[in-house]
Amino acid sequence: MDTLFSNVTLVTMDEAMHVWYAAFLGVTDGKISYIGKTAPKDKPQQIINGEGMVLMPGLINCHTHL
């Protein structure tokens, strides 16, 4: 795992749009490799403390005119 974001408020894109508080998200080779409410067993190369921050999917090409 390259990077682990710890203690973030994680906005998911599942059907129920769940929000996880104090969650962990791991990234390996630019792709999400871990999501959990506890830290993974594998040690990441970098840990980013996301306390007080929100991590959510990117809104790609969401420009529109109504």
Main-chain phi, psi angles of 34, to 5 degrees? -155, 135
Does this model's pTM top 0.85?
A: no
Segment 20-62, tens digit of pLDDT: 999 999 999 999 999 999 999 999 999 999 999 999 877 676 6
- Nearest Cα to Cα of residue 31 among 3, 66, 65, 61: 3
Residues 6+ apart with CB under 8 A from 37: 20, 22, 23, 24
Place 17 in a pLDDT band, splitting at 50, 70 and 90.
confident
